Amino acid sequence: MKMKIKKQLFRIILTLAAFCVISGCATTNYYRLKQTRNDIDAAMTRYQNEVSFAAISPEFQQQVNTAYHAYQKAFDAAVEQAHSDTDAPTPDNVKQLADRLLLILGSIPVAP
């Protein structure tokens, strides 16, 4: 019972995080690379914790890995273009990939 509550809470937190990031990205021009990195890092840490408890199916892990690698490649390119200034605004392509990754993380089916 306690584990079921934790899984539900995990899903809710990831969903809320995804909506917060999506809302923030859509409504402001001041979303910075640093904040994008922090949001993704926090969500990926929660995800990795669930993976370590074997609560995530291998198929879904592959989907997350694909989305994360696409985001990471675009993020790294944006940081390089900004001359390592993480206070630079997050480019639209990085926002879109981050939003996609957070949506995937928020919809993870937790194995019973």
pLDDT tens, position by position, 26-73: 445 578 999 999 999 999 998 998 888 877 888 889 999 999 999 999
Cβ atoms of 67 and 97 within 8 Å: the answer is yes
Query: What's the number of domains the chain is made of?
Result: 1
Cβ atoms of 66 and 108 within 8 Å: the answer is no
| Domain enclosing residue 34, as ranges | 2-106
Q: Tell me if 111 is assigned to some domain.
A: no
Q: Tell me if 70 is assigned to some domain.
A: yes
Q: Tell me if 78 is assigned to some domain.
A: yes
Question: What interhelical angle do 92-106 and 58-81 show, nearest 10?
Answer: 160
**Confidence class for position 78, pLDDT limits 50, 70, 90:** very high
| pLDDT recorded at residue 17 | 65
| pLDDT recorded at residue 27 | 45
Chain-centre distance for alpha carbon 32: 15
Q: Nearest Cα to 39, choosing from 61, 68, 60, 66?
A: 68
Q: Tell me if 85 is assigned to some domain.
A: yes
Q: Tell me if 81 is assigned to some domain.
A: yes
Residues 9-28 have a mean pLDDT of 60
Q: Tell me if 112 is assigned to some domain.
A: no
What's this model's pTM, rounded to 2 decimal places? 0.71
